[in-house]
Structure 1
Amino acid sequence: MKILFVHQNMPGQYREMLQWLAEQGGHELVFLTQRDPAPKIKGVRTVQYHPHHRPAKDAYGLSKVWEEATGYGFGAAQAAAKLAKGGFKPDIILGHTGWGELLFMKDVLPDVPVLGFFEYYYLNTGGPVGFDPEDPPSAHSPFLLRARNAVPNANYEAVDLGVVPTQWQQDSFPAHFHEKFYCCHDGIRTDLLTPDPDVEISLGRLEKPLTRQDEIVTFMARNLERTRGFHVFMRALPQIQAARPEARVLIIGGNGASYGKASTHPGGLRGEMEEELGDRVDWSRVHFLGKVPYDQYQKVIQISRCHMYLTMPFVLSWSCLEAMSMGATMVGTDVGPVREAIRHGETGLLVDFFNPDALADQVVEVLANPESYAHLGPNARAHVVENYDFLTRCLPEHIARINSLVTTGAKINLP
């Protein structure tokens, strides 16, 4: 089959699908992306496209996102047309709808089916906007959010079928979208993401490597920001450290902001929280690891005695399900997207997002009585294997949907 993938940050949500198809062989795979340099994947041809237009910094706020999306869409469409003129006409197009890259694909390849990935529909209520009283929305937020939704609304007509990874994310979209959606996660490689009782981590300032015998608390987010509850996590640390004098805290994440408003502190939200907490935290037992390679991230989760996944009501992170696959004892925030993955007392533990004291109490309890919570990690892994495993659960569903759209007679066969 000839497949055109479209995602500005290759491979994005197509990481597992792309790798699997490339390993199978027999398919012509082209990935259209802005990323430069893009990752090299054997069996995949990468083509960079350039936005046709970018809005000025002082562009009108209510139309700025749409202006940018149409620039992305036109640039991607022109690149797809050039590919077709050069002999590559895909049997199907798979792409992310969030940035507008699929908007004009039907105008250059009208008879090619498009399967779009829909991630989130911006909400005035029920999502992260206005959730945290410390970060109230502006009076203009409802207008800006409605304007942002011009992109998913236009993409509804630009695709033949849409996929959303979780039920909570699907429910963020208006009801009429659902008739064009199927709900299936991108997939977790549970065969590769497993517990490791013998894992070790060496940290420069420690004489001996850390092992599973050490009392390790972990936190991970792409960026240390409010949407992912970093401020709540930090405020729980003094209480955790006071109760557990041997505990060490390992933190993965950059110091920018992926979602929501960035901190105005020169040191980012990390600097803001360090200033707020001061000497109430024993910083010698807190290790900021920054952004780490994927294999190092795995070791951090595998060594964890208690892993915290804190988020406002927003898109569920891959890291939550990956940590569960690796058998982590999870403590998460009691919000809709997390409840979809974690059942309190069965596959993890849930706490109030706004109560760092309750979070600290729960973590201390897990650290003090690990035998009472020993069932959570295996149960979490079993839940992810059953519901989110890439090879056995998600891949067959995605392949079936792709095959159902293709009209050229080409098919993808499962082993």
Structure 2
Amino acid sequence: MELLLIHQNYPGQFRYLAPALGRLGHNVSALGASPAKPAQRASHLHYPWTTPSLPADLVDPALETSLLRGERVAERCLRLRDEGYRPAAILVHSGWGEALYLREIWPQARLLIYPELYASPRLLGYGFDADLGSPPFALRAQWRRRNLMNLAAIADADVAVVPTLFQRDTFPPHLRSRFHVIHEGVDLEQVRPNRACRLQIRSGLVLRRGDPVITFASRYLEPLRGFRTFMRCLPALMATHPTLQVLVVGSTASGYGAVSAHPQGYKAEMLALLGDQLPLDRLHFLGRLGLEKLHSLFQITVAHVHFSYPYALSWSLIEAMACGALIVGSDNPPLSEVLHHGHNGLLVPFNDPEALGSWLSAILRQPEAFAPMALEARRTVETRYNLSAAAAAYDNLLRSLVALPSDQA
């Protein structure tokens, strides 16, 4: 069938899913905010987008930006319709306003939305992160407005799809029956262990599997993904293990959560706090990495630290598990939906850097004792998050929706 995928940062979550649906016989087209590298077997289109210059007195610039984004997508889709394009189904990430007018343009198409999360104070750490107090009313009001795009999309959609039960349950109870829980899957042929892997960090430093290496990776170095907790565990850990190399992946730009009080971000904040206690020659900040190097990092690590607020499940966690990494994660959803302590990883309280350091030290002393957990993590991905099963589930859902009469979808 003709299937249109829409994501402002395409391919985003659809990186593996788009080509897999193509292999199942769908004619996949994709629409994003810029001409990016297309997913295999997907026709990649784009709508014109630059960050708008907005009046200073707007109540909510982010909401206005979403409305403008919805208009740009509508303009591009109207041109596609006028050219004769008629998708049987549309799968769209609805959080940025891109789904706003799709029902008006293609009323007969089956509309599947990917709303990801329903914003609330706890998702951004309030009542969870010991470093945060209570959110002011203005911030609570802003989060309510952030939910408007997803709520409008749910009203128009035939179904909503999210990757975890936790993410579904962030939405109000009366909406949850509209949801299907389907993780988009990982290509296990592409993302796999490699015992022969080598990763060059700098001139003269090449790391291999078996070297004492601890890793941390996040899109942004911010508290939402446990960066402060991780940094606080390092002084004692690196002093106890004098050959340990620590690799940190992530951007220093502002992320999803609160902005650092330090003008140069959370990395600079934590180094100002802890820098004189850290051997900086063994602590390597690598910035953002491409997928190939990121997978290499997962393949060589003795333990990979992945902490998170109760927020969207990061694809990097599942890919690290697929690469055979031993995961030390925070003991809260959504990680606790994936990891079971002592079985396929280790879970530690989010606000306890001492406990995190203690477990990492134990792993460094006897890595072979924890190796079965890493093997089980890979089996978890093979069983629950493999691409073939994910694509089949999406395929079944799409075909069942298209087969229904319009008044029953």
- Which residue is 2:168 aligned to? 170
CA distance in 2, matches of 1:66, 1:223: 23
Alignment: residue pair count: 404
Q: CA deviation at 1:190?
A: 2.1
User: Does the Cα contact within 8 Å between 2:130 and 2:351 map onto a contact in 1?
Assistant: no
Matches within 5 A, 1:216-295: 216-295=213-292
Q: What amino acid maps onto 2:33 in structure 1? A: Q
CA distance in 1, matches of 2:50, 2:9: 17
Q: Output the aligned Cα RMSD.
A: 2.0
Q: What amino acid maps onto 1:32 in structure 2? A: L
Q: What amino acid maps onto 2:30 in structure 1? A: F
Q: What amino acid maps onto 1:30 in structure 2? A: S
User: Does the Cα contact within 8 Å between 1:91 and 1:408 map onto a contact in 2?
Assistant: no
Question: Is 1:3 paired with 2:3?
Answer: yes
- Which residue is 1:328 aligned to? 325
User: Does the Cα contact within 8 Å between 1:55 and 1:64 map onto a contact in 2?
Assistant: no
Q: Secondary structure at the match of 1:194?
A: coil
Q: CA deviation at 1:101?
A: 0.6
- Which residue is 2:56 aligned to? 58
- Which residue is 1:40 aligned to? 38
Matches within 5 A, 1:2-401: 2-23=2-23, 27-35=26-34, 37-41=35-39, 43-50=41-48, 54=52, 56=54, 58-61=56-59, 63-125=60-122, 128-136=125-133, 137-207=135-205, 209-391=206-388, 393-401=389-397
Give CA deviations for 1:135-186 in whole Å, capped at 9, x if unaligned.
3322322222222221211111121111011010000001122121100101
CA distance in 2, matches of 1:382, 1:280: 39
User: Does the Cα contact within 8 Å between 1:50 and 1:72 map onto a contact in 2?
Assistant: no
- Which residue is 1:413 aligned to? none
Q: CA deviation at 1:408?
A: 9.7
Q: Secondary structure at the match of 2:207?
A: coil
Give CA deviations for 1:231-281 in whole Å, capped at 9, x if unaligned.
111111011111111110011111112211222323321111111002200
Q: CA deviation at 1:320?
A: 0.7
Q: CA deviation at 1:54?
A: 4.7
User: Does the Cα contact within 8 Å between 1:212 and 1:304 map onto a contact in 2?
Assistant: yes
Describe the shift of the 1:408–1:171 C-alpha distance in structure 2 as closer, same or farther (beyond 3 A).
Answer: closer
Q: Secondary structure at the match of 2:204?
A: coil
CA distance in 2, matches of 1:313, 1:234: 20
CA distance in 2, matches of 1:145, 1:138: 11
TM-score, scaled relative to structure 2: 0.93
Q: CA deviation at 1:407?
A: 4.5
Describe the shift of the 1:53–1:313 C-alpha distance in structure 2 as closer, same or farther (beyond 3 A).
Answer: closer
Q: CA deviation at 1:221?
A: 0.4
TM-score, scaled relative to structure 1: 0.92
Q: Which runs of 5+ in 1 are unaligned?
A: 410-415
Give CA deviations for 1:260-317 in whole Å, capped at 9, x if unaligned.
1222323321111111002200011111111111111111110000110011111110
Identity across aligned pairs (percent)? 33
User: Does the Cα contact within 8 Å between 1:224 and 1:269 map onto a contact in 2?
Assistant: yes
Q: Secondary structure at the match of 1:201?
A: strand
User: Does the Cα contact within 8 Å between 1:216 and 1:304 map onto a contact in 2?
Assistant: yes
The 4+ residue runs of structure 1 with deviation greater than 6 A are none
